[in-house]
Amino acid sequence: MSKDEIRVAACQLLTSKDVVSSTDKVLQQIEQCAEQQIQITAFPEGCLFGYCCNTKYWEQISPQVFKEAEAKIAEAARKHKIAVIVGTAHHDGENWHNDLAIFDQHGSLRYRYGKTFQAKRIYNEDTILREWFKKGTDFVEKV
3-state secondary structure of 75: helix
What average pLDDT does range 33-52 have in this prediction?
A: 95
Chain CA centroid to CA 103, Å: 10
Percent of the chain exceeding pLDDT 70 equals 80
Tell me the backbone φ, ψ of residue 140, rounded to 5 degrees: -115, 110
What average pLDDT does range 89-111 have in this prediction?
A: 93
The 10s digit of each residue's pLDDT in 1-19 is: 677 899 999 999 999 999 9
What average pLDDT does range 87-91 have in this prediction?
A: 94
Domains belonging to the chain, first-starting first, are 8-141 (3.60.110.10)
Contact, 99 vs 89, CB < 8 A? yes
The 10s digit of each residue's pLDDT in 56-88 is: 898 899 999 999 999 999 999 999 999 999 999
Please tell me the pTM assigned to this model.
Answer: 0.84
Q: 129 pLDDT exceeds 60?
A: no
